[in-house]
Each structure stands twice: as C-alpha cells, then as structure tokens.
Amino acid sequence: MSDPYSSVPSAQRLPAEWEPQDAILLTWPHQGTDWNWILEEATELYEALATVIADYADVVIAVPQPLVEDVRERLAAMDAPLDYIHIYPCDSNDTWARDHGPITVQTTKGFTLLDFTFNGWGNKFPHDLDNQITRCLYEQQAFPLSDLVHQDWVLEGGSIESDGRGTLLTTASCLLNQNRNPQLSKADIEARLKTAFGVRKINWLHHGYLAGDDTDSHIDTLARLCPDNVIVYTACDDEQDEHYAELKQMEAELRGFSDADGQPYRLLPLPWPGPVMNEEGERLPATYANFLIVNEAVLVPIYELPTDEDALEVITQAFPGYDILGIPCSVLIEQGGSLHCITMQLPEGSVVENILESVYVSE
C-alpha cells in the first residue's frame, strides 16, 4: 500500500523559531523525574528561566497537580510576572518539552498543534506520561486558538530545524534510526515531513554527534538555522578530540547545503567548549548551539567556561539587533540536554494573547 502522506499537497507551514511567538512551554522538574538528585538546582534554573522568558513572551508550564501552588508561590517570591505565566496540572516522566511538546504549524484556518508520538528517544527512557502532555494541556485550553491533530509516527521537536520558507534541516542518525519509525523508509519520512511542515527541501546531515547525548544526534545540538540564510554550528578545532573528524565532516556537509530556493548559507562556527565531565568522569554534551529564540531575544546556554563569551559573540553576529542573554546551563547538561531541549515555542496567534487565569484542580 502506498503511503497516504506522499500524495497529499501540504497546506501547512512550520514557522521559523525567529518568527513572532505567543509563549514558551516548560515542563517542570519534580521528584519523579531524573532531576531528583539535583532537584533544587534544576528548579532554581527553571524559575530563573521562566522569569527571563516572561520579559519577552508568555510562559506555559506543565507540572504535576500537587506542585501547582508551590511553583506559583516560588515564582511569586522571585517577583516573576505571574500575569504572563500560566500553570497547568499535567503528570510527566521528565522535562524535555522540545521533544514531547506540540509542534505548531500555520494553516489556512489558523494554527494546528501536531501531537507526534514521543517514544523516549527510541524507548531509552519512560515516556508514557510525557506522551500525553500536549493533549493534557490542550484539554485544559492552554492553546485556545489552536486545533490539535495527532500524528501516528514518532518525531521530536529537537530533531528538526525550519526556516519557515520550505527548508528543513535534520540528521539521518535520528530520523532514520530504526528505534523511531522502523516501518517507514526515508522516502516515507520525507513525504510526511513535506506534508506536515510545507517543506520543499530537506537537508540531511550524515555526520556530527556529541558524546553524552541520548537523542541520536538531534539537530538542535549541532546546527541551527538563523535569519538571512545563516547557519550557526558546533565546530571542533581540537584535533585530539574524539569529535574532531565527525564535526569536520559535518562542517563540509553544511558548506554544500542550499535552501529550497537554491541559495547558499553563510556559516558561523561556534567555539568548542572542550571536554566537560561529570563527577563519574563521563563526558557531558555541552553545546552552545542549543539556544532559544524568544521574540526579540536569544537565550544562549553557557557553562562557566572561557569559551562562553566567544559563543555569545557568534550568536550576536547571527542575530543582530536581538538581546543576547547567557543562561547558566551546567545543571542541564548533567542530564544530557540544554536550554533549547527543555523549551518549546508557541507561535503568535496560537495562544490567547492574555490567558486570564490558569486552570488547576484543587485537592
């Protein structure tokens, strides 16, 4: 039987992250997540992050019901602007909103939340609760201007980059991995991507990885599309480093790419942070590419390293006129991800401009 996705013309478009946004989604850390051993440090980061984001967009937070009031009180104690922070009760396995949250597309009728299947990055981790978060939020009218459509195949937001004009950037090691959609061929996946996101061209990276990454090389740790056909990417200049050969080959691939209109990219390499290890001597995936664009700002993960300032300078070149803010993210990479991984943007027009009051269930 032919793939029904292959013959359906797309009436949808995946906006670029630098297009206007209504809100950013966060899924809050709690004792039931893998953050439990460093829960206070992780929670403090989330509180600071929510407060910063609220200067540029609303914040939608998913958190288990017993913690709703605690989160609200802690944010209030920080003088966070609660009028722009909307808290909803949802159970969760973990906090990687980029991958279990909705991917929002623009249609002729408005916005649609695509609720893809999340399988814990190839069934590596528990995911049953995370896979329900988008629907949980939708049923509480967290996205009242958007429709919800379930997608019966696996896709994570961190695995794709869109320029909003028909080009998608991704990695073969993730999207074509047999632990995601073994029943689909590359042609099937390309057809579905084109239909879902209004894509005319897909640029596949076949090289690049970060030690300590559990995602099978999500694109948002390696290379990011930016305005005006710029790609910011993770580069390694240490010939003795285990990443050197792979990232050099990735760089060569990027140099050969063009967008859907045939236009080449300007490449901006990010500094190499060098080995960052945990207490057990395991390498952590420190990457500056995992930044978040929030309307007029770019929030950049930093790690208390000498290369932090250089990374901020590169991002400044890619986003002239934006507020470039460094966010300390050493605690995040302890669990294998960084700033972009724990957030998901909601485009302007997908959420009511002012959600008057968050809904939550009292005990």
Write out pLDDT tens, residues 260-290.
999 999 999 999 999 999 999 999 999 999 9
Residue 117: pLDDT over 60: yes
Q: Is 324 inside any structural domain?
A: yes
Q: Is 192 inside any structural domain?
A: yes
Report the percent of the chain where pLDDT is more than 90: 93
Q: Is 363 inside any structural domain?
A: no
**CATH number for position 39:** 3.75.10.10
Dihedral angle, C-alpha 38, 44, 47, 52, nearest 10 °: -120
Residue 291: pLDDT over 70: yes
Look up residue 71 and give its two tokens: 């989160």
Measured CA angle at 144 (ends 53, 54), to 5 deg: 10
What's the domain range around 135? 12-347
Report the percent of the chain where pLDDT is more than 70: 94
pLDDT at 362: 31
Q: Is 355 inside any structural domain?
A: no
CB contact at 8 A, 12 and 112: yes
Q: Is 40 inside any structural domain?
A: yes
As for how many domains the chain has, the answer is 1
Residues forming the active site: 341
pLDDT in tens, 303-319: 999 999 999 999 999 99
Q: How far is CA 137 from CA 49, 92, 173, in A?
A: 20, 12, 31
What is the rounded distance in angstroms from the CA atom of residue 114 to the CA atom of residue 270? 31
Kindly report the average pLDDT of the chain as a whole number. Answer: 94
Global pTM exceeds 0.75:
yes
CB contact at 8 A, 111 and 353: no
Q: Is 3 inside any structural domain?
A: no
Tokens 């990479």 -> residue: 333
Q: Is 2 inside any structural domain?
A: no
Q: Is 195 inside any structural domain?
A: yes
**pLDDT level of residue 3 (50, 70, 90 thresholds):** very low
| Strand residue runs (E) in the chain | 12-13, 21-27, 58-63, 85-89, 103-107, 110-117, 146-154, 160-162, 167-171, 201-205, 223-226, 230-234, 266-270, 292-294, 297-302, 323-328, 343-347
